[in-house]
């Protein structure tokens, strides 16, 4: 490399660092004040959220920490624009993050959790904490840990190595491998075809995602669910769960089942913590992990 190229590359690196620092500092001028003490009457606390279903699951530890023993009401703001995905990234909700159907799917799971007493659409209720406020703070949300974004916002912490969802496992899947792989967040050169040598492989997710994966794994079986409580029960009952950075993995992480995460290098914002957690972004390592876990 010529001396000119070295000087140019060093200048470019320093410029990018300064530019990101400037953007961060400028962003700090517009953040909301989320640390003011709240006057909460009674033993109930109200949260709102307008983000994706997975973001809601990752926000539950924060809700428990901020609730401090109170009963929890969760109100979901619907039809907010989806700015997180490119046009090439298909999402079941299209160009919005939550719909009425989203509430129908997630409410049974949320209401099955300790201290949660309401989960419904936001319609003018008094809100104590808007959990989507983290998006107002300057941060590169393509990295880090989604669950900890809320910690950074509210100045709190909680042990993420422990389960924060509880469901009754579906015993029909105790000998099964359950797989979920959305069309988003797929790591280049990763193939699932080697899994076809293992018995009892089930897929959870959208029908088009299943059809795509079945091309690699002809023996794969589609497992439909009626809501996210049923989905969580399937994952909780499985021998092993394998998924990429989509909603089903948020359930596996919250349940702390034995799990393997496909990490997307361009957006590594899902971290595994606690027992039974594995992650990969290279094919040989993927196959080694599965071989170690399944033999």
Q: Per residue in 108-130, pLDDT tens?
A: 999 999 999 999 999 999 999 99
Q: What is the pLDDT along the chain (295 residues), one digit of tens a residue?
A: 576 676 656 666 676 778 888 888 888 888 899 998 787 888 999 999 999 999 999 999 999 999 999 999 999 999 998 775 455 555 565 678 899 999 999 999 999 999 999 999 999 999 999 999 999 999 999 999 999 999 999 999 999 999 999 999 999 999 999 999 999 999 999 999 999 999 999 999 999 999 999 999 999 999 999 999 999 999 999 999 999 999 999 999 999 999 999 999 999 999 999 999 999 999 999 999 999 999 8
Beta bridge mates, 140: none
Q: How far apart are CA 137 and CA 230, in angstroms?
A: 35
Q: What are the structural domains, with CATH classification, of the chain?
A: 44-154 (no CATH), 171-294 (3.40.50.2000)
Cα separation, 73 vs 68, whole angstroms: 13
* pLDDT tens digits, 162-183: 999 999 999 999 999 999 999 9
The pLDDT of residue 12: 65
Instruction: Count CB neighbours of 90 within 10 A.
Output: 13
Tens of pLDDT, residue by residue over 15-45, are: 677 888 888 888 888 889 999 878 788 899 9
Rg (CA), the chain: 21
């Amino acid at each position: 490399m010529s001396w000119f190229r070295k000087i140019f590359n060093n200048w470019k690196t320093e410029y990018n660092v300064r530019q990101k620092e400037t953007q961060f500092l400028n962003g700090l001028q517009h953040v909301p004040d989320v640390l003011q003490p709240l006057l909460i009457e009674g033993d109930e606390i109200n949260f709102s959220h307008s983000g994706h279903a997975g973001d809601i699951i990752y926000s539950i530890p924060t809700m428990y920490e901020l609730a401090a023993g109170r009963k929890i009401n969760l109100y979901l703001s619907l039809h907010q624009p989806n700015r997180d995905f490119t046009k090439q990234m298909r999402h079941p909700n299209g160009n919005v993050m939550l719909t009425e159907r989203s509430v129908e799917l997630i409410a049974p799971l949320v209401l099955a959790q300790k201290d949660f007493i309401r989960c419904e659409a936001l319609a003018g209720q008094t809100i104590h904490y808007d959990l989507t406020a983290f998006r107002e703070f300057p941060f590169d949300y393509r990295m880090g840990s989604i669950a900890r974004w809320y910690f950074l916002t509210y100045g709190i912490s909680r042990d993420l190595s422990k389960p924060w969802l509880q469901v009754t496992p579906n015993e029909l899947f105790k000998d099964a491998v359950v797989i979920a792989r959305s069309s988003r967040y797929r790591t280049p050169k990763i193939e699932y075809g080697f899994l076809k040598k293992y018995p009892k492989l089930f897929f959870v997710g959208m029908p088009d995602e299943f059809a795509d994966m079945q091309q690699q794994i002809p023996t794969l079986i589609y497992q439909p669910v009626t809501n996210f409580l049923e989905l969580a029960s399937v994952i909780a009952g499985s021998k092993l769960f394998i998924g990429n950075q989509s909603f089903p993995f948020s359930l596996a992480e919250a349940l702390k089942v034995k799990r393997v995460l496909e990490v997307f290098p361009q957006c590594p914002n899902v971290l595994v913590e606690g027992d039974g957690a594995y992650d990969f972004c290279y094919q040989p390592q993927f196959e080694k992990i599965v071989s170690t876990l399944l033999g």
